[in-house]
Amino acid sequence: MLDLMESKLAFFTPKGIAIPVAVSAFPDELYQAPRSWTEKAHPKLIHYNKLDKGGHSPRGNSRSYSLRKCARDLVAVLDLSSYERNDMKASCALCFVCGIAVMLGYNLLAASKPAQHVYELRMYHVNPGKMDALKARFADYTDAIFRRHNMNSIGYWQPEDPPNSQNLFVYILEHASREEAKKNWDKFHEDPAWKKVKNESEKDGPLTSQIDSYFMDPTTFSKLQ
C-alpha cells in the first residue's frame, strides 16, 4: 500500500520540463496546482491562467467558457516570437496541439449531451361533460403559457376506453430540475393571462375535480432521457 501511495504521489513531483508551456488551472480538477508548483515543474512557463470555473466535472455552462480560455492558451504557447523558437522542436508543438484537440473534442462531445432534467406526469380527473372544454383550454391557451414559463410539454393524452376516455386527461412536462419546476409553476399561477383564462373557462364550474402530479426520472434503458 505504501509503495502504491508513493507511486501515485510521484506524479505530483515537479519534473522540470524545459520547453515553453502554457497552463490553465481549473477549479473542478481533483488536484489544484498552484503557480509556484507549476513554475518548478515548467521552468519556461510563459502563460498561467487560473479560471473561476470548469474542469473534468464542469458545473453549469462552463464548457464554452473553458474552451475559450483554452484557445487563448493555445495561442499563447504557439506565439514564440519572444522565446527561443529553436528550443521547441516541432514534435513538442504537435503533441501540445494534439492534446488540446483531444480535450476540445471531449468537451464538445460532452456538451452535446442534454443537461440533467426531470419529468412531471400530471393526471387531471375531469368533471362530467367538461373534457372538450379542458382540451380546448390547453390547445388554445395553457400550452402557450407553459412555454412562456420554461415548461416544455412532452405530450398530451386522452384514454381510448370509457369511462376514462371522458374523465381522465394526462400530460407530461419537462423541467430543468425540481427547484425550477416549483419556480415555473409559481410564475404560471401568478400569470395574469392564466388567471383570466381559468376564470373565463370555469364560469360554469370547475373543469377538474382532482389533479395528480408525479415527478419522474428516466431509467438508464429508457429511449427518452
Mind listing the pLDDT tens digit for each residue in 66-82?
556 656 665 565 555 44
Same domain, 100 and 7: yes
Q: Is the pLDDT of residue 209 over 90?
A: yes
Q: Is the pLDDT of residue 93 over 50?
A: yes
CATH number at residue 126: 3.30.70.100
Same domain, 17 and 97: yes
Report the C-alpha gap between 151 and 145 in whole angstroms: 9
Average the pLDDT over 100-113 and give the result.
Answer: 57
Same domain, 80 and 142: no
- Tell me which residue range forms the domain holding 86: 2-111
Same domain, 54 and 89: yes
Which pairing describes strands 21-25 and 118-126: parallel, antiparallel, or unpaired? Answer: unpaired
Domain's final residue, options 95, 111, 127 = 111
Same domain, 95 and 154: no
CA angle in degrees (0–180, nearest 5) for 79-80-86: 145
Q: Is the pLDDT of residue 8 over 60?
A: no
With a pLDDT cut of 90, the percent of the chain lying above it is 45
pLDDT of residue 155: 96
Number of domain units in the chain:
2
- The answer as to whether 225 is a domain residue is no
Domain's final residue, options 111, 134, 157 = 111
Give the residue ranges of DSSP H helices in the chain. 2-9, 35-41, 62-78, 90-111, 131-137, 143-148, 164-167, 178-190, 192-201
Domain's final residue, options 60, 76, 111 = 111
pTM of the predicted model over 0.75: no
* Contact (Cβ atoms closer than 8 angstroms) between residue 2 and residue 54: no
